[in-house]
Structure 1
Amino acid sequence: MSEAASAHVTLAKSTTKQASHPPTHPRPGGPTAGTALLPSLAPLLHDWLPRQRWFAGKGHPVAGFTLVAATEILPVDSPTAGPGLLHLLVRVHQPGLPARPTGDCYQLLLGVRNDLPPALASALIGRVTDGPLAGRTVYEGLHDPRLAGLLLERFRRPGPLGALRFERAETIPAGLAPRLLDTEQSNSSLVFGDAYILKILRRVFPGTNPDLELPLALVGEGCGRVPAPVAWFEATTPEPLTLGVLQPFLRGAEDGWQLALGALAAGRDFVPEARALGRATAEVHTALASALPGPDLRLAGTEALVAGMTQRLESTAQAVPALLPYVPALHAAFDAVAELGHRGRSWATHRVHGDLHLGQTLRAADGFWSLIDFEGEPARPLAERRSPQPPVRDVAGMLRSFDYAARSHRPWSDAWAERCRAAYCEGYADVSGTDPRSEPELLRAHETDKAVYEVLYEARHRPDWLPVPMAAIQRLAAST
């Protein structure tokens, strides 16, 4: 649904909304052909959606839904037919989230059966009591290997399907068994035969998602530090939306977070790995600077950058009182960047990863490092995630990640983290020619902003982890 149409939606707790236009490309007589589908599913979605890990509106009541688009990937023909697969784009209205007045749009893949076999019991959403699916059982379709395999088949035969369009960059073999990973928080991923991994974006936004846009740009620059997109699919109406990206599955690769924890547990340094990660990051930044450069960050841009950091600090301090004593000193870190801007200092910008940390890196068996998950911080607006940034933003995220890893181990070793941080910056300088520490004010400001974000996240979701970013807050406040 367009933004203009969304603005005219009247919210009411007891009402389920329907889009002003019919679902896109309905099958004659099928469940997507009429207006009764979403109202019949709404009671089930009210209960099921807020319990999903990828649902961003937890803690706020759901007032209703708008059906944006519906497509039958595998038709549901009759009550005696086999399983069907419905693809829905549903806008969720939550009046308690004033920052998102039109609601968040989510991608749902719903399996439909007469009865659910025991092996799929954990995927149950519920039984529909009325509407075109009355008497049928609805469940999370990605848990069903038969239905999940249909997505790979659609990539093998690219083109339009209802409100969807499937694209591919190379030939894909048939018959690869799917399995659903259970490790992601904000999205869902399917692995096909240890050959490919399909990330399915759950909360979707208009425009091309950076997780497709940036890897394609990096491949175009000849950068091998990111798995190249093999295929992808998107919604074509009512507006373009990136829905999923298929990439090679790096079998046997280990993520940087687990490797760092293993080094800590074994009592050994992580310096060679950190230096190699610095080089890999610089290679990615060099390619992004060439493919997707941005304007230099001058006075107006610097003031906007500092204003955003300051606003996040002040709002977080109101939400987490433990931060209040450090606010004046943290302000000084941002003010130092503003002062440089007023003196005429500028910084280069380009598109960046946006959420770089150890968990977004993979090391192959031969020691080669790759960067993954270019979506950026999912909680931030897509327009912000797609805007050019100083590359030091990614550097700050990785430096904070070394600190997190060290803090997760007992006894805490500040020296371990500092050696990793230094090695990472040295490796970065080996490739880029510039050590990130040569711009201490900008680096400190971005580290501070990242630590403030971590404080709010931990206070809301993992209170036991709050001492980790608070220790960084104390260090950063003392350094200013």
Structure 2
Amino acid sequence: MYQKDIKFNEIPLQLKYIVKDIDKEKVKNFRWFQDKANNIFDILLHDYAVLYDDNAAIIIAAVIDFSIGIADSKERKLSRYFVPLIIRKDIEDKNYIGIIKGSGFTAYLYDAVDDIHYIRFVDSLLSSNKNIDFNNGGRLEAFKLIDYDIYKSERFSNKSTNSLTFLKKDEIIKTFRRMMPGINPDLEMTMMLKQNGFNSIEDIRGYFQYIDKEKNIYTIAMIFEYIENIIDMWQFTQEYLKGILEKFAYMGDIPLEYIKKSSEDYLAEIKKIAGIIADMHIILSKISTNSFLKKNPKESDVKELISGINNKYNQLLNYLKDGIFDKETKEMFEKIAHQKDVIEKASKYIVKLYPYFGQYIRCHGDLHLEQILKTEESYIIIDFEGEPTKPIQERNKKVSPLKDIAGILRSFDYAVYSAYFNYKDAYNSSESELKNIEEFLLLWEDIVEETFIYTYLKIVKLYAPDILPDEKRLDMIILLFKLDKALFEGIYEINNRPEWVKIPLKGIIKCLEGLGNNQIM
């Protein structure tokens, strides 16, 4: 709690002290906070602008640096976030993140991203293409692309590291909470794909940039067309697998052809999605703008990929060493820790394959089933910002389209093990029953993967064969990208959803076993 003999309208003058008293544990519980595995040691106000104030409420756009680190280490780093704040004299709910006691009043501090008054201000700012000067030399700029009105705001389910607010009539505002310098790839990729005839994406209505006093540009928010969708493909797959398990769980050994036959409806969906992703990669491979122009990979590109895998592997093991986990999770960690030699052997071999990787292009960068919306007519791909914890410069790099393919394949695996662990938690099954269920789900996953890859490759080979690797090395290179993705997922889950970490750990073990068993090695 911050306490000082000040008037309510003097609160902004004390903001740098007030933010220091923000409840750190409440911040760590926010879905958008990406540093959950670290301790917050200090909270520093970098810049701010008062957007609205009266006798009862003050709305502030704040740029806040969180000083974070591991408890036993002296190393600290600053992690910058955009945090819209609203300060009210009356408490409306328990979601406050700070308390201010002043002269004759008590006020409560909230995250304002879904507050209707904040949203209306954002609306008016965009409508007028107006700029807002910040207190420490920064500036917020608005860019309107399509006219619209906002009548009401509503928060989406809290599943994203960004904040998604539904703006009725028919818009969504996506606020990029973690601030990284550069034009966000979500903005650049969506606009470029739309301009080049790829329509399985959202329309952008407008966007906002924050420019600091050193002239660094940060994409703060984008306003999208709201897509009426039936379901995203992650939810669809989860519900589908739940239904399959209810039907087949107690049947014992099930023939492969029977599983394939019973999954024809799902496989039809996957074929359509594979076709859309193939079209996206083909279009991206034809764009001649310099930042999108395809390129031949160099040995250094593959070395960078290998180096990233090794760094993630070591980082994950460090997190695991310092964390508190159950017996099953610890056993997975130990299994991963004992396979370092597999990565070392694979690294030496794969570096030599750089001439066979196929040409590199700009890609989605973080493609998985939750990024694909199923509509009544077709499918929409969303969230082109890449892996949100990486610097924007790294996310903008060209890469093999197999990175996106590996993301989808890892997503199938996520869905399978999510269904497996949900079943395990819900039913008191014997070890042999659970083994049968896992084997059944893995057979199903193999069928889905095979269908997806076959459909995708068939189309791309016709229209952009130069972006595909040499066929003899295809499986090996896909495994490499899958391992890279699974390691990223493991680190992400420890920082954001520690209870989910078993799923990527299972995937890492599978990838390491696949690399170890590869005949080329």
Sort the TM-score into its range (normalised by shorter chain): 0.7 to 0.9
What does the per-residue CA deviation read over 1:310-340, in whole Å, with 9 as the maximum and x for residues that have no partner?
A: 3333443454333023332344443332122
Which residue of structure 2 aligns with residue 154 of structure 1? 125
Distance (whole Å) between structure 2 residues aligned to residue 266 and residue 234 of structure 1? 45
1:363 to 374, 387, 393: 374
Which residue of structure 1 aligns with residue 230 of structure 2? 253
1:426 to 440, 454, 460: 454
Q: CA deviation at 1:251?
A: 1.5
Distance (whole Å) between structure 2 residues aligned to residue 130 and residue 476 of structure 1? 63
Distance (whole Å) between structure 1 residues aligned to residue 157 and residue 41 of structure 2? 29
- Greater shift, 200-209 or 263-272, is seen at 263-272
Asked if 2 retains the 8 angstrom alpha-carbon contact of 1:87 and 1:108, the reply is yes
Q: How do 1:460-471 and structure 2 match up within 5 A?
A: 461-462=498-499, 463-465=501-503, 468-470=506-508
What is the SS of the residue equivalent to 1:288? Answer: helix
Asked if 2 retains the 8 angstrom alpha-carbon contact of 1:404 and 1:468, the reply is no
Is 1:441 paired with 2:437? no
Asked if 2 retains the 8 angstrom alpha-carbon contact of 1:40 and 1:130, the reply is no
Alignment RMSD, CA only?
A: 2.8
Which residue of structure 1 aligns with residue 255 of structure 2? none
Q: How do 1:312-323 and structure 2 match up within 5 A?
A: 312-317=312-317, 319=320, 320-323=333-336
Asked if 1 retains the 8 angstrom alpha-carbon contact of 2:486 and 2:504, the reply is no
Q: How do 1:228-243 and structure 2 match up within 5 A?
A: 228-238=203-213, 239-243=216-220
Distance (whole Å) between structure 1 residues aligned to residue 47 and residue 158 of structure 2? 28
Q: Relative contact order (C-alpha < 8 Å, sep 6+): which is higher?
A: 2
Q: CA deviation at 1:189?
A: 0.7
Asked if 1 retains the 8 angstrom alpha-carbon contact of 2:155 and 2:165, the reply is yes
Asked if 1 retains the 8 angstrom alpha-carbon contact of 2:156 and 2:165, the reply is yes
Asked if 2 retains the 8 angstrom alpha-carbon contact of 1:349 and 1:388, the reply is yes
2:84 to 82, 102, 109: 109
Q: How do 1:43-442 and structure 2 match up within 5 A?
A: 43-46=21-24, 48-74=26-52, 76-77=53-54, 81-96=55-70, 102-117=77-92, 121-129=93-101, 135-162=106-133, 163-172=139-148, 174-193=149-168, 195-238=170-213, 239-267=216-244, 268-269=262-263, 270-291=266-287, 292-317=292-317, 319=320, 320-341=333-354, 344-345=355-356, 347-366=358-377, 368-410=378-420, 411-412=437-438, 413-433=441-461, 434=465, 438=471, 439-442=474-477
Distance (whole Å) between structure 2 residues aligned to residue 392 and residue 316 of structure 1? 23
| Pair 1:346–1:414, CA change in 2 (3 A) | closer
Distance (whole Å) between structure 2 residues aligned to residue 316 and residue 49 of structure 1? 23
Distance (whole Å) between structure 1 residues aligned to residue 114 and residue 200 of structure 2? 31
Distance (whole Å) between structure 1 residues aligned to residue 117 and residue 151 of structure 2? 11
Q: CA deviation at 1:470?
A: 4.8
Distance (whole Å) between structure 1 residues aligned to residue 23 and residue 285 of structure 2? 43
Distance (whole Å) between structure 1 residues aligned to residue 222 and residue 150 of structure 2? 19
What is the SS of the residue equivalent to 1:57? Answer: coil
Q: CA deviation at 1:212?
A: 1.1
Provide structure 2 residue ranges, at least 5 long, that are not aligned to the other structure: 1-8, 134-138, 245-261, 321-332, 421-436
Which structure carries more helix by proportion? 2
* Superposed structure 1 runs of 4+ greater than 6 Å apart: 97-100
Given the two structures, how large is their TM-score scaled by the length of structure 2? 0.77
Q: CA deviation at 1:437?
A: 8.8
Asked if 2 retains the 8 angstrom alpha-carbon contact of 1:188 and 1:201, the reply is yes
What does the per-residue CA deviation read over 1:72-126, in whole Å, with 9 as the maximum and x for residues that have no partner?
A: 222x24xxx2433110011112254999955111111111222123xxx033223
| Pair 1:83–1:168, CA change in 2 (3 A) | same
What does the per-residue CA deviation read over 1:170-221, in whole Å, with 9 as the maximum and x for residues that have no partner?
A: 111x243110113224111100125111111111111111111111111121
Asked if 1 retains the 8 angstrom alpha-carbon contact of 2:231 and 2:373, the reply is yes
Q: CA deviation at 1:223?
A: 1.0
Distance (whole Å) between structure 1 residues aligned to residue 470 and residue 270 of structure 2? 15
Asked if 1 retains the 8 angstrom alpha-carbon contact of 2:371 and 2:383, the reply is yes
Q: CA deviation at 1:376?
A: 1.4
| Pair 1:449–1:175, CA change in 2 (3 A) | closer
Report the residue type matching 2:308 in the other structure: G
| Pair 1:474–1:149, CA change in 2 (3 A) | same
Distance (whole Å) between structure 2 residues aligned to residue 134 and residue 398 of structure 1? 53
Q: CA deviation at 1:404?
A: 1.9
| Pair 1:314–1:125, CA change in 2 (3 A) | closer
What is the SS of the residue equivalent to 1:128? Answer: strand
- Greater shift, 347-356 or 317-326, is seen at 317-326
Q: CA deviation at 1:385?
A: 1.2
| Pair 1:469–1:458, CA change in 2 (3 A) | farther
What does the per-residue CA deviation read over 1:30-57, in whole Å, with 9 as the maximum and x for residues that have no partner?
A: 755x4x3211332125454233222222
| Pair 1:336–1:253, CA change in 2 (3 A) | farther
Asked if 2 retains the 8 angstrom alpha-carbon contact of 1:334 and 1:445, the reply is no
What is the SS of the residue equivalent to 2:183? Answer: coil
Asked if 2 retains the 8 angstrom alpha-carbon contact of 1:425 and 1:436, the reply is no
Report the residue type matching 1:265 in the other structure: K
- Greater shift, 375-384 or 46-55, is seen at 46-55
| Pair 1:175–1:445, CA change in 2 (3 A) | closer
Distance (whole Å) between structure 1 residues aligned to residue 317 and residue 42 of structure 2? 32
What does the per-residue CA deviation read over 1:235-270, in whole Å, with 9 as the maximum and x for residues that have no partner?
A: 122321100111111113311111112222333522
| Pair 1:458–1:191, CA change in 2 (3 A) | closer
Report the residue type matching 2:299 in the other structure: L
Given the two structures, how large is their TM-score scaled by the length of structure 1? 0.83
